[in-house]
């Protein structure tokens, strides 16, 4: 099982609706059921206890020419936290438009049948630039 951060790459159609690629980009931190990293993890947040999307974007997109020049806050994104055998997913509300979003998150983070709670975060923290282009 893993905790960490993720992005859902997408584009917009002629109506300005998101069209997801079917991929999830993720930075995974293997952890136990209480969310403790299983190995020495290098975190890049100011407080040093997790990873930020901004500081992790270059690592996650390394070697992906098609993602060069795309800013870290362009795609809808979120975070998976693990605590007491449960997963809490914080994410941009636009991800709800992808029918299988939870299955992709479960698979990518290896959280299978774990109890998962989704918390939609419409704050500026999880806003994405792709939608600002269509306005």
Mean pLDDT score across all residues of the chain: 89
| Residues in CB range of 126: below 8 A, 6 or more apart | 76, 77, 78, 90, 91, 92
Give the model confidence (pLDDT) of 52-96 as tens digits.
899 899 999 999 999 999 999 999 999 999 999 999 999 999 999
User: Each residue of 5-23: pLDDT tens digit?
Assistant: 999 999 999 988 899 998 9
pLDDT at position 106 over 80: yes
Cα(97)–Cα(127) distance, integer angstroms: 15
Cα–Cα nearest to 55, from 46, 44, 41, 67: 44
């Amino acid at each position: 099982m893993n905790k960490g951060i993720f992005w859902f790459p997408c584009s917009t159609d002629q109506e300005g609706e998101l069209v997801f690629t079917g991929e999830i980009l993720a930075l995974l931190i293997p952890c136990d059921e209480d969310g403790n990293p299983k190995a020495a993890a290098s975190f890049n947040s100011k407080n040093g206890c997790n990873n930020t999307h901004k500081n992790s974007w270059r690592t996650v997109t390394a070697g992906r020419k098609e993602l060069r020049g795309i800013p870290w806050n362009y795609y809808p994104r979120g975070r998976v936290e693990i605590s007491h055998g449960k997963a809490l997913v914080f994410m941009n509300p636009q991800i709800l438009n992808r029918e299988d979003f939870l299955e992709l998150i479960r698979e990518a983070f290896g959280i299978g049948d774990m109890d998962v709670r989704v918390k939609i975060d419409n704050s500026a923290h999880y806003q994405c630039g792709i939608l600002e282009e269509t306005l």
